[in-house]
Amino acid sequence: MTSKQSAYLVLNAGSSSLKFSAFRHHPHNDALETLLSGQISGIGSRARFEAKGADRRPLGEHSWDDKDSACRDTLLQYVLNWINATLVDDEIAAVGHRVVHGGLAISRPMPVSPALIDELDGLIPLAPLHQPHNVAPIRILAKNFPALPQVACFDTAFHSTQPPLARNFALPQALTDEGVCSYGFHGLSYEYVTAHLVESRPDLAEGRVVICHLGNGSSLCAVKAGKSMDTTMGFSVLDGVPMGTRTGSLDPGVILYLMREKQMGLEALEDLLYRQSGLLGVSGLSNDMKVLQESAEPAAKQAVEMFCFRVAKEVAALAASMGGIDALVFTAGIGENSPEIRAAVVERLAWLGIKLNAEANGRKAYDISASDTQIPVFVIPTNEEMMIAKHTINVLGQLAGHA
């Protein structure tokens, strides 16, 4: 009988979805192979399971329309059972989780322990809309499978290298001391892209790179010699550039005005800032960049233009944070798939001597720079799940080394 291989399950749990991927580790060359991925969407209403293989072929689907749609315990157990039945040659060796917030104290992936779960619970006030959902599957697995190793990987951790000048707000020191500061997010994506650049262009990775993670949630990061120096998302995931449904940076005076003149309370404001603004709010049409680009509506055009204007402005601001820029990288759904958005952003940066090769940009090449550009431009597809799988294996390796 041949022994089973080790598979690593990655979970990314949101308010109404549970995304999962499984990777096989090949220890001889430390390579990770994607086995499958999928998600349960519609948690709380009509939950629906879908999974596909590494070749994107559908592998399974299922739906619930009863009370189980809201039971995270049952849904997670379904995913585990399905993976165990599907991956007949593999055994789940560990689970890695995406966790949005690690606070000021956590600057690296952490093995899950009861004390860590308590610490993550304590950070819920910093990310009330995301953190409880991230922690839920960790708690369920710890209860049901206490011997299964789990590792928590944080969106904030990559930014722990930011200097206080970038990190702190112009607020009274007492508030800064209690953690009201800019944490930054999308750290696992920036880490993956940075590691890719270290492999592909180590000369540039040593320099000053601005990475544009443009997706439904968007942010930009200034990375100098592989370390985050500044980023556009701040205390929350609302800051920076406009997103699918979030405002991006907004004069806090607007919030005071809405509270005073329109008697808006916490819930109404949260709904406006997180769910009714951004591309959706400006266009009145959709939060989806592809839909807006295909629309002839003037308001859709205005939303797309505002997005490009704000992204270009932040590239320049982050270059200023690092005293210059040696490379520009686009990643995530919009950054990877929309040549028009990349072209519109770079056009606004022509004064920096940045120029695209239109043909390479059109076919989503890795290097999309014009031959006479002052600053090279790249498209690097992100893979946060693979980053989490790598961290999970590394953390377990370190624990085994210390055992």
Q: Which is nearer to ligand AMP, 166 or 341 (CB)?
A: 341
| Cβ 85 to ligand AMP shortest distance, Å | 28
Query: Please, which of residues 227-246 interact with ligand AMP by CB under 6 A?
Result: 244
Q: Would you say 39 and 17 are in contact if contact means Cβ atoms under 8 Å apart?
A: yes
| Cβ 216 to ligand AMP shortest distance, Å | 3
288 binds ligand AMP (CB under 6 A): yes
26 binds ligand AMP (CB under 6 A): no
Instruction: Tell me 128's DSSP state.
Output: T
Query: Please, which of residues 295-314 interact with ligand AMP by CB under 6 A?
Result: none
Cα–Cα–Cα angle for 47, 48, 52, rounded to 5 degrees: 150
34 binds ligand AMP (CB under 6 A): no
Query: Please, which of residues 314-373 interact with ligand AMP by CB under 6 A?
Result: 332-334, 337-338
220 binds ligand AMP (CB under 6 A): no
Q: Which of 102, 149, 215, 281 binds ligand AMP (CB under 6 A)?
A: 215
Q: Within 13 Å, how many C-alpha atoms sit on residue 172's CB side?
A: 2
Q: Would you say 92 and 83 are in contact if contact means Cβ atoms under 8 Å apart?
A: yes
Neighbours of 290 (CB within 10 A): 12
Is residue 55 among the annotated active site residues? no
| Cβ 338 to ligand AMP shortest distance, Å | 4
Neighbours of 88 (CB within 10 A): 8
| Cβ 295 to ligand AMP shortest distance, Å | 12
Region near ligand AMP per CB under 6 A, out of 88-96, 102-110, 175-183, 284-292: 284-292
Q: Would you say 223 and 184 are in contact if contact means Cβ atoms under 8 Å apart?
A: no
Q: Which stretches of 242-295 are DSSP H helices?
A: 252-262, 266-275, 278-283, 289-294
* Structure tokens given for 147: 């011997």
| Cβ 39 to ligand AMP shortest distance, Å | 12
184 binds ligand AMP (CB under 6 A): no
Q: Within 13 Å, how many C-alpha atoms sit on residue 359's CB side?
A: 1
Q: Which of 55, 65, 66, 155 is catalytic?
A: 155
388 binds ligand AMP (CB under 6 A): no
Q: Within 13 Å, how many C-alpha atoms sit on residue 183's CB side?
A: 25
Residue whose Cβ sits closest to ligand AMP: 333
* β-pair partners for 61: 50
Q: Which is nearer to ligand AMP, 46 or 290 (CB)?
A: 290
Q: Which of 17, 216, 295, 394 binds ligand AMP (CB under 6 A)?
A: 216
How far is it, in rounded angstroms, from Cα 159 to Cα 167? 9
Identify the three-state secondary structure at position 75. Answer: helix
386 binds ligand AMP (CB under 6 A): no
How far is it, in rounded angstroms, from Cα 6 to Cα 272? 45
Q: Which is nearer to ligand AMP, 120 or 233 (CB)?
A: 233
Number of H helices, E strands in the chain: 16, 13
Q: Which is nearer to ligand AMP, 186 or 208 (CB)?
A: 186
Give the catalytic positions in this structure.
155
Q: Which residues bind ligand AMP (CB under 6 A)?
A: 215-216, 244, 288-290, 293, 332-334, 337-338
